[in-house]
Amino acid sequence: MDQEHILYSIKKADLATLTNAAMGFAATICLIQHNFDCAAILIILAAIADGVDGAISRRCAYSPLGKHLDSLADAISFGMVPATATYLLITPRNIVLAFVLAILFLSCGLLRLARFTTRTEIMMDFQGIPITAAGLTIMLLIVQRETTELFPHILTAMIVILSTLMVSRITYPKVQDKRIITILAVTMIATILAYTLKEETLKIVAGVLLTMLLAYTTTPTIKITRKEKETKNV
């Protein structure tokens, strides 16, 4: 029996997912031209598309392609692009280290996506930091590359930390509070607009967004501290 044509399987959410992948591809082109700031802006757009994809899929019917297509797009935008950017920036200092860091981040990101795709049960929280948050954090950090001479060391440390967190069993909350989502969206849009203004403005606004993502990275620590306090009070 003939299957339905693949184009008829595409839903609204899938169009947002394809936009995510397109932004990732465009960011790769920017990296080839060593335009790291533009690549970071395109990954912010990819993250917005990824968020729109999730919002649409929760309201409308899933397509047969949805979950798998989403992981493939995320692998491009939040896995391959940050890994490539890391390789290009670390190579002048140590090409072997650059290769190892890039492969480490990409591999852990792919493993994180594979674990998510193969899960059948609905999870209240994420297991391991989402690749979207990890990839976006790296790209926003790269915007700050000229602010300190220690940047290569900071980037190296963040790649190792985020790679480890992606494949860890540490739980991360799904952000569902509309106020937090609105603040995050406004900051993302402000960062994109800042790119059209002065370089210093971009660094400042991108720094705010980076701080928000780093705060999300530390949420498991806050949870553990709260649990310890509750246990002592019992």
In the 3-class helix/strand/coil scheme, how is the chain assigned residue by residue?
CCCCCHHHHCCHHHHHHHHHHHHHHHHHHHHHCCCHHHHHHHHHHHHHHHHHHHHHHHHCCCCCCHHHHHHHHHHHHHHHHHHHHHHHHHCCCCHHHHHHHHHHHHHHHHHHHHHHHHCCCCCCEEECCCHHHHHHHHHHHHHCCCCCCCHHHHHHHHHHHHHHHHCCCCEEECCCCHHHHHHHHHHHHHHHHHHCCCHHHHHHHHHHHHHHHHHHHCHHHHHHHHHHHHHHHC
Q: Which residues pair with 143 in a beta bridge?
A: none
In a domain, 86, yes or no: yes
Count structural domains, the chain. Answer: 1
Place of tokens 């002048």: 92
CA nearest 11: which of 75, 81, 59? 59
User: Which residues constitute the domain of residue 41?
Assistant: 6-233
Structural domain includes residue 139: yes
Is 1 among the domain residues? no
- Asked if residue 171 belongs to a domain, the reply is yes
Determine the pLDDT at residue 54: 78
pLDDT, position 63: 65
**Residue 65 has what pLDDT?**
73
pLDDT score for 222: 61
Q: Mean pLDDT of successive 10-residue segments in the chain (234 residues)?
A: 63 87 97 96 96 78 73 96 98 96 98 85 81 97 93 97 95 86 92 85 93 91 55 51
56, part of any domain: yes
**pLDDT value of position 219:** 86
pLDDT of residue 13: 80
Report whether 144 contacts 151 (CB < 8 A). Answer: yes
Residue 159 lies in a domain: yes
What is residue 22's predicted lDDT score, i.e. its pLDDT? 97
User: What CATH number did the domain enclosing 184 receive?
Assistant: 1.20.120.1760
Q: What is the pTM of this model?
A: 0.88
Q: Is residue 190 part of a domain?
A: yes
Say if 32 falls within a structural domain.
yes
